[in-house]
A and B are shown apart, each in its own frame.
Chain A
Amino acid sequence: DGGITQSPKYLFRKEGQNVTLSCEQNLNHDAMYWYRQDPGQGLRLIYYSQIVNDFQKGDIAEGYSVSREKKESFPLTVTSAQKNPTAFYLCASSWTGSGYGNQPQHFGDGTRLSIL
């Protein structure tokens, strides 16, 4: 089945530790995104990438980093600089249409990150 795989489903981070969240897609989509969702809130864009080896900051990029070395993969690193990392992290992908946002986004099942 085609889709987006995020791992792990649950992740615990110690203070001062960097952690990396995995996101892999086999939909052959060009664009990939990372969102953060806090309880009872909407989706806030962290980073997005429309092509391999290129990515842009979203609205809340501070304390996060990404890479896009392969079309299928878009890992997110939550660094120790992110002071409040506890949240639900969602990865998504889409075709790139006539402009960013014109194509529906397909989401993975998410990773729940907590601080120990």
Chain B
Amino acid sequence: GQQVMQIPQYQHVQEGEDFTTYCNSSTTLSNIQWYKQRPGGHPVFLIQLVKSGEVKKQKRLTFQFGEAKKNSSLHITATQTTDVGTYFCAGQASGSRLTFGEGTQLTVNP
């Protein structure tokens, strides 16, 4: 079945450093979504990418969808303590269910 892998599992950064999490699928995806879950909270939808090579920005967050539509990344520039949480990608292949990656847990040291 479809698998979505996310790396790294954990990332510790100093405030102000950049952060990137990567998402890789075993199959070609029709779209990919990104979610953020704060500690003790629930996942919150951030963005969806659907086009090959698509790049979208939300303030300090940059999301990319690979040309082959099998990988994606989330990059945070100059992290802040408010960025703490777990970031999940969730991919859907054509005719398949949405599958979540295992997430990257980000901690930011002030």
Given A58-B97, A100-B98, A107-B42 contact (CB < 8 Å): yes
How big is chain A's contact interface, by range? Answer: 20 to 34
**B44 close to A42 (CB less than 8 A):** no
Is residue A105 contacting chain B, with contact meaning CB distance below 8 A?
A: yes
A35 to B100, CA, bound (A): 10
Q: How many pairs of residues, A versus B, come closer than 8 Å at their CB atoms?
A: 56
A40 to B30, CA, bound (A): 27
Residue count of chain B within 8 Å CB distance of chain A = 24
A108 to B37, CA, bound (A): 12
List residues of chain A with CB under 8 Å of any chain B CB: 35, 40-45, 48, 58, 90, 92, 99-102, 104-110
**A104 close to B43 (CB less than 8 A):** no
**A107 close to B44 (CB less than 8 A):** yes
Query: In the complex, which residues of chain B have a beta carbon less than 8 angstroms from the beta carbon of A92?
Result: 43
A109 to B38, CA, bound (A): 11
List residues of chain B with CB under 8 Å of any chain A CB: 6, 9, 30-31, 33, 41-45, 48, 88, 90, 92, 94-98, 100-103, 105
Q: B42: shortest Cβ distance to chain A, in Å? A: 4
**B42 close to A101 (CB less than 8 A):** no
Given A42-B101, A58-B97, A104-B88 contact (CB < 8 Å): no
Nearest to A35 among chain B residues (CB) is: B100
Nearest to B33 among chain A residues (CB) is: A104
Partner of B43, one of A41, A48, A107: A107
Nearest to B10 among chain A residues (CB) is: A40
**B103 close to A45 (CB less than 8 A):** no
7 contacts between A and B (CB under 8 A): A42-B101, A43-B43, A45-B97, A58-B97, A90-B43, A104-B33, A105-B43
Given A42-B88, A102-B31, A109-B42 contact (CB < 8 Å): yes
**B105 close to A40 (CB less than 8 A):** yes
**A101 close to B97 (CB less than 8 A):** yes
Nearest to B6 among chain A residues (CB) is: A42
Query: In the complex, which residues of chain A have a beta carbon less than 8 angstroms from the beta carbon of B97?
Result: 45, 48, 58, 100-101
Given A42-B88, A104-B33, A110-B100 contact (CB < 8 Å): no
